[in-house]
Structure 1
Amino acid sequence: MLETISFSQRQRLAYIDFCLLFKGAIHRQDLINRFEVGLSAGSRDFTLYKELAPDNLIYDPREKRYFQTENFLPVFEHDAKRTLVKLANDISDGFDAIGDLHFPVESASSLNVPDIFVVAKVVQAIVNKKAMSVIYTSLSSGSGARELVPHSIVDNGQRWHVRAFDRKSQSFRDFVLTRISKVTVKAEPEVHECIEQDEEWGRLIPLEIVPHPKNIKFPTAIELDYAMEEGVLTLEVRAAMAGYLLRRWNVDCTKHASLRSGEYQLWLKNRQSLADTDNLAIAPGYTAEQAAYTA
């Protein structure tokens, strides 16, 4: 049936499908406002969608919106990799609701791709500010149930993570999306579990990165690569993300620039800025006596 429908109506049907998958619900007015169609046209779109997938949505007259059902199966194919990249860059091609989802997604990755239904449930929990129960497989403890309160999707340069409050450890941590399964969205979290209480996420730290003083013979080349000003690249990054960036760029974080192999073309000049920052065991050469943990 989809092949016989006009392109513009397929866009609107795909939008309904996307909202149900990633947000869990949609108002009729959402569709009307997004595509600037009349009330009757919007009603016809929902009627047609219900014909295509009668078990996908149910209308709540009290809230005046349609909700995803437990039997929901998307009518359109939503690619996980493309969706994450578009979320990271706030890009919409008209077949989704990217522009309507306002929550942090840091960077974009071309490597491993999580399951689209896991991504959808995590996004639902973030958008609707809910907790979620998951089965998580950890390197240290294997598979087990966890209750998380997610607030952001992040990219460490290799893998997609979700930043969340972990009720097991009572702390904010990073969880690899591909290790998450069987997601169930739960009730609203407590105040101490919300993004505002994630100090490592909210705190910005300055990094002064320079060409490696011992490994680079012609530092001007590195200065050009990174658009350095007066030989220094100054960045402000979230404390929770600092370790990932330093590892991704192979930044030597030793006090005296002592990592001498060729892959270290950069050195962190203001190493002291990393004080009291977690998750730095992955930062090359950083050996501060502090706790560091990656889920």
Structure 2
Amino acid sequence: MLDSVSFAQKQRLAYIDFCLLFRGSIYRNDLINRFEVGLSAGSRDFNLYKQLAPQNLRYDQQQKRYFQTDAFKPLFQHDPQRTLVKLANDISDGFDAIGDIHFPVEAPSRLNVPDLFVVARLVQAILNQKAIEVTYTSLSSGNSVKQLVPHAIVDNGLRWHLRAFDRVSQSYRDFVLTRIEKVNICGSAEDFEGTENDHEWQRMIPLQLVPHPHNIKHKSAIERDYGMKNGVLTVEVRAAMAGYLLRRWNVDCTEDADLRGPEYQLWLRNRVTLVDTPNLAIAPGYG
């Protein structure tokens, strides 16, 4: 039946599918306001979606809202990588699943691709401020069951991870998405577990990056690469993310710019700003 549906209606159906998958619910007005269609057109779209995937949604008369069912299976194929990028940029449409315009621009290939359904459950938990129980595989302890309160999904440049409050350690930590499985929502988050209490997430620190004083012959090239002003690029970054950024860009974090090699094109001029910042074991030369 989808083959006979217009492209415009496919977009609206993909949007319904996307909202059910990642939000867990959708109001009829969400569709109407998003596409500026009339009430009758919106009703037709939901009726068609129910015809195509009757097991995917249920209507709550009291809340006047459609909810994802336990038997939900996406009507469209949502690409995990493209979806994560769109979610990171606050784009919620699901249009990739119906073959929207692809521009001739390529991003580096990733070696690890998170499970789309794991991502969907995590997004639902974050949006609805819920706690989750997950099976997690760590490098140090192997498989374990954790109770987490997630508040963000983050691209650290090499892979995606979840920022969450860990109820066992009573601290905010990072969890690699591809190591998470069996996500179950298990109640509401407590007030003290929210993002506002993640101090390393809330704290912004300035990183002053300059061309490496020993490894770069023509410093103006690096200044142009990064749009530096007066030879300096100042980046405001969350303290919880500083280590990832410094590793991703191979920033020499030694006190006297001691690291040698063509990969070290940048040096952190204000090293002192990293004091009391976590996750710096991965920052080149810091320690």
Q: TM-score, normalised by structure 2?
A: 0.92
Matched, 1:14 2:43: no
1:52 corresponding residue in structure 2: 52
Matched, 1:216 2:248: no
Give, in whole Å, the separation in 1 of the partners of 2:36 and 2:185: 32
What are the superposed Cα offsets for residues 208-229 of structure 1, whole Å, 9 maximum, x if unpaired? 1111112222222211211111
The within-5 A match list for 1:126-205 is: 126-205=126-205
Give every structure 1 segment of 4 or more consecutive aligned residues whose post-TM-superposition deviation is greater than 6 Å.
Answer: none
Give, in whole Å, the separation in 1 of the partners of 2:83 and 2:94: 12
Give, in whole Å, the separation in 2 of the partners of 1:225 and 1:35: 40
Give, in whole Å, the separation in 2 of the partners of 1:221 and 1:50: 57
Shift of 1:231: 1.3
**Partners of 2:17 and 2:94 within 8 A in 1:** no
Q: How many residues are aligned here?
A: 276
SS across alignment from 1:131? strand
Give, in whole Å, the separation in 2 of the partners of 1:109 and 1:170: 36
SS across alignment from 2:10? helix
What are the superposed Cα offsets for residues 62-114 of structure 1, whole Å, 9 maximum, x if unpaired? 11111111110011111111111112233456738xxxxxxxxxxx9852221
Give, in whole Å, the separation in 2 of the partners of 1:174 and 1:226: 28
The one-letter amino acid of 2:222's match is I
Q: TM-score, normalised by structure 1?
A: 0.90
The one-letter amino acid of 1:235's match is V
**Partners of 1:81 and 1:110 within 8 A in 2:** no
Give, in whole Å, the separation in 2 of the partners of 1:226 and 1:193: 37
Matched, 1:35 2:43: no
Q: 1:34 to 1:20 in 2, by over 3 A?
A: same
What are the superposed Cα offsets for residues 263-284 of structure 1, whole Å, 9 maximum, x if unpaired? 2111111100000100100001
Matched, 1:269 2:265: no
Q: Percent identity?
A: 71
What are the superposed Cα offsets for residues 8-31 of structure 1, whole Å, 9 maximum, x if unpaired? 221111111111100001111211
Q: 1:189 to 1:109 in 2, by over 3 A?
A: farther
Q: Report the RMSD for the aligned CA atoms in angstroms.
A: 1.6
Which blocks of at least 5 consecutive residues in structure 1 are unaligned?
Answer: 97-107, 288-295
Give, in whole Å, the separation in 1 of the partners of 2:192 and 2:75: 38
Give, in whole Å, the separation in 2 of the partners of 1:216 and 1:6: 56
SS across alignment from 1:278? coil
